[in-house]
Amino acid sequence: MKPKILITRAVFPEVVEKLSQHFDLESNQDDVVYGEAELIRRLQGKQGVFANPSDRISADLINSNPGLKAVCNMAVGYNNIDIAAATAAGVMATNTPDVLNETTADFAWALLMAAARRVTESEHYLRAGEWKKWSYDGFLGADVHGATLGIIGMGRIGQAIARRSLGFNMKVVYHNRSRLTPEQEAYANHAEYLGRDELLRTADHVILVLPYSAASHHTIGAAELELMKPSATLVNIARGGIVDDAALIAALKAGQIAAAGLDVFENEPALNPGFLALSNVVLTPHIGSASGSTRRAMAHCAADNLIAALSGQTPPNLLNPEVLKK
């Protein structure tokens, strides 16, 4: 008898077909967003879940489904999963690292360029029919070339972003929980390690790439925004909650920093409506990894993790290896 799994959200049909060869599956191809109670109900009697970052895999959900053996997230981030509860219950948890590094780094640059050079703001102006003449001071933005780029969170994606800065002749400074090796710093366009506050004072453009946790909650708040240059750009491609959105809205309104580019938000998709009234912020709906090839690679990676987990193998991207002792 095949193990039973739940695919919580719509995914590529070829991935559903791949999983159907191994599992008796229930697939939510209608893409209804299940709340926690509905997830608990649908997971009864199932051994695995192909999860989405919008799914809250809580301790209650895990403990309400004692037959659950694997939670496989189609994302590199996994703050939606209670890892401690999963480990305590003997449930393997996995993510999809590496396959999205380069695509997400590309998108960080898209947001940086759009925000610094006021692309969204000027496009809205043009579409509204307000462009009547050229003017010397029309939509003056900030240069990216020759500027100082600050990266907070210098993992694989952060390093990929830094490498791209070479073509813009930028100086790179970074802050991370641990300093990179000299070889890694050299490869990341000779990045220089700084304390967080010094980085915020120094950088012309700041990109956030750190994982979300209780320790990183509101890494950027009112006090940190006050340290930044009035001409600075802030880009968040990491996770909502790393930035205090209310404080950022206030800073953008006051001209405390020049612009922001945001792909993630607190309480997304119910983002703070204050952002919608601002012209100096570029807003995108959590699409940093959204190229066709990358999203397919993520889906296949999550599927491979689930197949391994429920066939007696160690999943390639196991987040809680200590669960194997159980």
Asked whether the beta carbons of 297 and 153 are under 8 A apart, the reply is: no
In terms of Cα–Cα distance, which of 280, 302, 324 is closest to 18?
302
Asked whether the beta carbons of 196 and 247 are under 8 A apart, the reply is: no
Query: Structure tokens of 182?
Result: 């000299």
Q: Nearest-5° angle of CA 59, CA 65, CA 66?
A: 100
Give the burial string for 233-247 (b: 16+ CB within 10 Å, else e).
bbbbbbbbbbbbbeb
Active site residues: 239, 268, 286
Bridge-based pairing of strands 259-262 and 171-175 is unpaired
**CA–CA separation, 313 and 305 (whole Å):** 9
Q: What is the DSSP string of 16-78?
A: HHHHHTT-EEEE-TT-----HHHHHHHTTT-SEEEE-TTS-B-HHHHHT-TT--EEEESSS--
Number of Cβ atoms within 10 Å of the Cβ of 26: 14
Q: How far is CA 98 from CA 50, 59, 95, 281, in A?
A: 18, 27, 10, 28
Bridge partners (DSSP) listed for residue 48: 5, 70
Give the burial string for 151-180 (b: 16+ CB within 10 Å, else e).
bbbbbbbbbbbbbbbeebebbbbbbbeeeb
